[in-house]
Amino acid sequence: MLPESAPFDNGQGQLSEEEATLLASELKQQLREGRAPAQDAELIEKMVAGLGDKRGLTRLTFAESLGVVGKAAVLPLCRALTSHGNVTVRRAAAKTLTLIGDPKAIPALVKALLEDPDPVVQGSAVGAIAAVGAEGVAPLLEVLVNPAASSMQMGLASWGLAFVGAQAADALKIAAQSNNQKIRTAAIAALGDQIQALEDSQARNLLVDALADSCQEVRAEAATLLGKLNEPEWAYPLLIPKLTDSSDQVRKNAALSLMKLEAAEAIPRLQECLAIEGEPSVQAIFKLAINQLG
């Protein structure tokens, strides 16, 4: 039988070590037998409280059990994520919401990303948003244009978009044409799956257009992506002109991508560009690419 105890305040509730051990043991047995834990409100509160246990394997049992419970656990997990004083509980709540992947959790996850002081909670919240799929794209894009978001939070949002990838092909292609340069940059970085796995011709065209974008960050991201796609015959003629781009970062990224693609035929052009390059940091990258390709 599951141990009985007084009801919890999900915000700060805790289990004793003995109670957590007994409950985790029963839940583990249920999981082994293929039985889902009951969708009982008090039991769910206890499992959420168990996410604060000091023992990692015990926390994992509670998280897996909540994941099996699914949607019925979303609201208690969201309350724990946004209000619990124990950072271990908040971290585990975000990771457990990743297992469930319910769009209803997105507001709480965005709040955690923007307001929680713990970087692990922030990162786990982004992972949970990305796990939702296409419905997570718009909230992540909003973080990118939020003036209150830190550089780290915007970086996490960009990572989340890349993680969503092909699950949100249409949303990302629309974002790649946004008037906001931060959104265009993040969307271009996330187009790799559509281009390589799905052979999406529209995504390819957007990447080519991005190489001529008015924003140097977009051009730089496009040059980097070309190096990741493992299609040297397609990428080579697109990257060569970027070796003389007006942006130092674009020139660097183009050379690094040529190096990654093992495009040895680029050596003569790299040598020509090195001879006229005036920026020392770019010169160093050109020399590195020439040496590696040679």
Each of the 294 residues of the chain gets a pLDDT tens digit; together they read 333 333 334 445 678 889 989 998 999 898 898 888 888 899 999 999 999 999 999 999 999 999 999 999 999 999 999 999 999 999 999 999 999 999 999 999 999 999 999 999 999 999 999 999 889 999 999 998 899 999 999 999 988 988 887 678 888 889 999 999 999 998 998 888 778 777 788 989 999 999 999 999 999 999 999 999 989 999 999 999 999 999 999 999 999 999 999 999 999 999 999 999 999 999 999 999 999 998
- Show me where the domains of the chain are located: 1-130, 133-210, 233-294
- The residue type at 7: P
Q: What percent of the chain has pLDDT over 90?
A: 73
pLDDT at 2: 33
Backbone angles phi, psi at 198, to 5 degrees: -100, -5
The CATH code for residues 133-210 is: 1.25.10
| List of long-range contacts for 125-128, beta carbons under 8 Å, 24+ apart | 125/81, 125/94, 126/156, 126/157, 126/159, 126/160, 127/94, 127/95, 127/98, 127/160, 127/163, 128/94, 128/95, 128/97, 128/98, 128/101
- 140-144: long-range contacts at Cβ-Cβ below 8 A with a sequence spacing of 24 or more? 140/164, 140/186, 141/175, 141/178, 141/183, 141/186, 141/187, 142/110, 143/110, 143/113, 143/114, 144/180, 144/182, 144/183, 144/186
> Quick one: CATH architecture of 233-294?
Alpha Horseshoe (1.25)
Q: Is the pTM of this model over 0.75?
A: yes
Topology alike, domains 133-210 and 233-294: yes
What are the b/e assignments for 190-205, b being 16+ CB within 10 Å? bbbbbbbeeebeebbe
